[in-house]
Amino acid sequence: MKKDLYRKGRHFYKCETGYCDITITMHPTGAPVGVPVGRQARELRSLAHKLATKIWQYDDVDSRKKMYQWLDKNSMSGHIGMMDENELVPVIEKLERIIKKFIDK
């Protein structure tokens, strides 16, 4: 992985070979935010984050903490940045059901 590339206001790691599209965003400290994945998993992570944000912003101040507790109970890794496609799809489906049932009435 090549360190400290910059795009769209974010620093990230990218595969040095140039033959794949595997990247991972990095914290200001240089630590990776999650595990590196390809484009499809990154798009699913983005969708999962949008859905989770919609839920926790809908509720009270503690709801972001509650969302991470929910992820911990409803996924193997407990954090969207650690999930691959196989784990993201069912999590996204669950999040969509929550939104449909409680938010988008």
pLDDT in tens, 7-30: 666 777 777 776 777 777 788 887
* DSSP result, 71-89: HHHHSSSSSGGG--HHHHH
Cβ neighbours of 30 (radius 10 Å): 10
Higher pLDDT, 67 or 83: 83
pTM given for the model: 0.78
What DSSP designation does 8 have? T
Confidence bin at 49 (pLDDT 50/70/90): very high
Higher pLDDT, 47 or 102: 47
